[in-house]
Amino acid sequence: MLIKRQAADTLLRYAAQFPVVGITGPRQSGKTTLAKMVFPDKPYVSFDDTRFRELAASAPADFLLAFPEGVIIDEAQKVPNIFDAIKLVVDKEPEHAGKYILTGSSQFILHKNMSDSLAGRAVFLKLLPFSIGELQQGQIRLDNPYEMAFNGFYPPLYDQRRSFIPTDWFEAYIDMYLDLDVRDQINPSNIASFRKLIQLCATMSGQLLSMNSMAKHLGVSVPTVKSWLSILETSYIIHFLQPDSTNLGKTLVKTPKLYFVDPGLLCHFLRLESKEDLILSPFKGNVIETFAVSELLKSRMNQGKKANLTFYRDKNQLEVDIIGEWKHSFAIEIKSDSETEKKLSHAVRKYLALRTDVPVTGAVFYLGSIAGKFNGINYVPWKQWGDFISH
């Protein structure tokens, strides 16, 4: 059974305005499936197919003539000159919105080619792995938050036709990622060090970034670490939260916090082998915090909106995990507790007392099952984290 993606409405909205829509996101996040689900009557071709690839490469303009009403092109980056050919077509027919839907597993090349050739004519939809809400709508049984965090949310892991073991799937996934995405971006002799960097990032998920310590640990330069982190961010392996820039005064920190995009991949790099290992791990709180941030990222990207997530830390060591500047302002604490205790909202309450410039809603994301407002603070159970933004 196909699980309906929350980004489907955004894809339709984009396709009603722009002649070209590119769907980006990490490998195996369901980009092709989404395109075919939303546009079932649109022809589909993949440049993984040698025949189509050779035809398009030899005569791109003629190739597009075969699809007068448009087409979904998968792995579009494998024929670089197709982008200039698409530009010529859409310039002749600017009123034909949603004509071309482009996807590709290599985010770097696809994004660059589209940006270079189709500026002003294309829009990008970022698609991350499944959200909790999508799995619930797909009637996937969600019983244990630690099991969900350990398994992660990549669609192949929820394909009922297969029986992937998460640890095996993630190992194969990383090998594919390093071979197909990273190898062309760095010196091949540095692949082993790059993998060690991902491992190091895992131990720092939910913490302040320290490129100096990373460089020292890996034996490479700080500029090299910065470049490699950019690759990880661009390929949706990690995400950065910047420090909040409200009018409450200067914060002690200038550096961002690092998060993995998928908690299951994080658990894999932390060498956890079961949800029980996660429960007993000293990284449990970091994984749950990563889980919550990931759900908020998905919710925003599925709507085609910028994340607008920051964190707050001041000179008195007051820290709030997430500041969300959306339609309203939110201060959110993330806790790996299952009871609605008042102590969980201590930091949020202190922050709310400081924010006299605009109204701010306080919330605690926790692992319980009861949603409600207690002592003026919203307690949000884990199954509703991604839906909280719509409140």
- The mean pLDDT of 28-54, rounded to a whole number, is 95
CB 16 within 8 A of CB 306: no
- The mean pLDDT of 74-85, rounded to a whole number, is 93
Give the pLDDT score at 165.
Answer: 93
> Which pLDDT band holds residue 248 (cuts at 50, 70, 90)?
low
> Which pLDDT band holds residue 375 (cuts at 50, 70, 90)?
confident
Which positions ≥6 away from 142 have C-beta within 8 Å?
132, 135, 136, 148, 383
Share of residues in the chain with pLDDT > 90 (%): 77
Whole-model pTM: value is 0.93
Which positions ≥6 away from 139 have C-beta within 8 Å?
1
Cα–Cα dist 336/52, whole Å: 50
Give the pLDDT score at 339.
Answer: 87
- The mean pLDDT of 171-189, rounded to a whole number, is 91
Strand order through the sheet with 207-208: 207-208, 257-260, 238-243, 309-313, 319-325, 329-334, 360-366, 377-381, 372-374
Domain boundaries, the chain: 8-126, 132-294, 309-390
Give the pLDDT score at 95.
Answer: 83
Fold that domain 132-294 belongs to in CATH = Arc Repressor Mutant, subunit A (1.10.10)
Do the bridges between strand 122-126 and strand 20-24 make them parallel or antiparallel, or are there none, so unpaired? Answer: parallel
Between 52-66, 224-238, 247-261, 368-382, the lowest mean confidence (pLDDT) is in: 247-261
On the question of a common fold for 8-126 and 132-294, the answer reads: no
Q: Which has more pLDDT, 111 or 248?
A: 111
Beta bridge partners of 331: 323, 362
**Of 8-17, 307-316, 325-334, where does the model show the most confidence?**
8-17
Yes or no: is domain 8-126 CATH 3.40.50.1970? no
Between 108-112, 146-150, 204-208, the lowest mean confidence (pLDDT) is in: 108-112
Cα–Cα dist 110/102, whole Å: 9
CA angle 28, 34, 36 (to 5 degrees): 115
